[in-house]
Amino acid sequence: MSADPITLARDLLRCPSVTPREGGALTFMERVLAGAGFTVHRLVFSEPGADDVENLYARIGTASPHLVLAGHTDVVPPGDESRWRHPPFAGEIADGVLFGRGAVDMKGAIACQLAAVLDYLAANSSEPKGSISFLITGDEEGIAVNGTVKLLRWAAARGEKFDHCILGEPTNPKELGDMVKIGRRGSLNGTLIVSGTEGHVAYPALADNPVRRIVAIMAAVMAEPLDAGSAHFDPSNLEFTSVDVGNKTVNVIPSEARARFNIRFNDLHTQASLKALVEMRARAAAQGGRFRIEWEPSNANVFLTKPGVFVDLVSGAIAAVTGRQPELSTSGGTSDARFIKDYCPVVEFGLVNATMHKTDERVPTADLVALTAVYRRILDRYFA
């Protein structure tokens, strides 16, 4: 099998694997990996009320250290295909740029992982000095209940032990080599519900207007930052995303008001400490008035892979290939790294994220070659 990342990326992009469809992408990976000597497992996970989704786990080697290369082959829908310069599932190259849904998020990076591993194995008599695994889900872009969480649980149950993981999500804002993600903020959603007493708008003394109180509570909750940030994280942030009374009548004071919010939080907080802080501020502002906060369950906790030998190895490889010293960042939304971190240290490095989820998602073929060289160098150093 060719270790050319451009050929591999085109083959993957031609598989229409919009979540939850496999689209041939995992079948293609299975063929490539089995051909290289990997033991490949195809796993279908189910959940009531959700689509069944296919996943893949493949390993070569039995010794430690065990490096896991993680990612997802599912993609978001292409939208209006007529707006694409090149069809989203054709894998066309124009002027050195490969177009297609998933080019950067993240079939391109998976092609680079594959190419780097094939090349590494060819240079090492088909035997890694340790173990290499691919942990690939088809359920990242959807509701993600039949993907990485279950795949990790399945692997742990059969005794798989991981030492380190590289997730190939697109991490670079502008140029390959800009940014490695060494952690992610946590995410927590809540709804503030303020109760009052309805009444005629001309007789406010006979009512208790919840709108007055929700405004006061919201202002108090937002007034001060939740913290001042930490060594590797920006300050935690609370944003209200919706305020609703739903009152269609002009002369009625409503009985209830609601406001939804999201908090992105850093390693100075846990979910419990945040809830306590927000509720304390709200209580002070409510001055005895009725309110409650409903918190949604969240599996998006903050995590940090502390800078050290592994992070240095990855950023050193990036610097050697790209000439850039990558920023160690914890910015952006959540990713499957939040699940992997419960099993081993994980860092994320992939392609440039500027066109992800957009019409004309695309990647310069030179970036595929360079990212393959980065992964290849990481393999050499990791198993040295």
Question: In this complex, which beta carbon is closest to Zn ion, that of residue 75 or of residue 216?
Answer: 75
Instruction: Name the active-site residue from 4, 119, 139, 140.
Output: 140
Q: How far apart are CA 201 and CA 213, in angstroms?
A: 16
Question: In this complex, which beta carbon is closest to Zn ion, that of residue 169 or of residue 208?
Answer: 169
x-or-dash string of contact with Zn ion, 231-250, rule CB under 5 A: --------------------
Question: In this complex, which beta carbon is closest to Zn ion, that of residue 104 or of residue 192?
Answer: 104
Rounded to a whole number of angstroms, the minimum distance from the CB of residue 169 to Zn ion is 5
Q: By CB under 5 A, is residue 135 in contact with Zn ion?
A: no
Question: In this complex, which beta carbon is closest to Zn ion, that of residue 105 or of residue 119?
Answer: 105
Q: How far apart are CA 316 and CA 358, in angstroms?
A: 31
Residue 74 designated active-site: yes
Distance of CA 343 to the CA centre of its chain: 16
Residue of this chain nearest to Zn ion (CB atom)? 105
Rounded to a whole number of angstroms, the minimum distance from the CB of residue 200 to Zn ion is 54
x-or-dash string of contact with Zn ion, 264-303, rule CB under 5 A: ----------------------------------------
How is residue 257 written in tokens? 């008001």
Q: By CB under 5 A, is residue 106 in contact with Zn ion?
A: yes
Q: Are strands 179-181 and 327-329 parallel, antiparallel or unpaired?
A: parallel
- Contact between 234 and 271 under an 8 Å Cβ cutoff? The reply is no
How many residues bind Zn ion (CB under 5 A)? The answer is 3
Stretch that binds Zn ion, among 40-48, 103-111, 254-262, 297-305 (CB under 5 A): 103-111
Stretch that binds Zn ion, among 60-68, 105-113, 197-205, 208-216 (CB under 5 A): 105-113
Question: In this complex, which beta carbon is closest to Zn ion, that of residue 103 or of residue 302?
Answer: 103
Rounded to a whole number of angstroms, the minimum distance from the CB of residue 22 to Zn ion is 16
Q: How far apart are CA 346 and CA 167, in angstroms?
A: 7
Near Zn ion by CB under 5 A: residue from 105, 267, 336, 348? 105
Instruction: Name the active-site residue from 30, 74, 105, 348.
Output: 74
Residues 158-217 that bind Zn ion (CB under 5 A): 169
Rounded to a whole number of angstroms, the minimum distance from the CB of residue 100 to Zn ion is 14
Q: How far apart are CA 265 and CA 304, in angstroms?
A: 12
Stretch that binds Zn ion, among 89-97, 99-107, 304-312, 318-326 (CB under 5 A): 99-107
Stretch that binds Zn ion, among 52-60, 87-95, 102-110, 178-186 (CB under 5 A): 102-110
Rounded to a whole number of angstroms, the minimum distance from the CB of residue 104 to Zn ion is 9
Stretch that binds Zn ion, among 6-14, 98-106, 173-181, 220-228 (CB under 5 A): 98-106
Give 175's strand partners: none
Rounded to a whole number of angstroms, the minimum distance from the CB of residue 72 to Zn ion is 6
Rounded to a whole number of angstroms, the minimum distance from the CB of residue 362 to Zn ion is 15
Q: By CB under 5 A, is residue 74 in contact with Zn ion?
A: no
Residues classed as catalytic:
74, 140
**Which residues contact Zn ion (rule: CB under 5 A)?**
105-106, 169
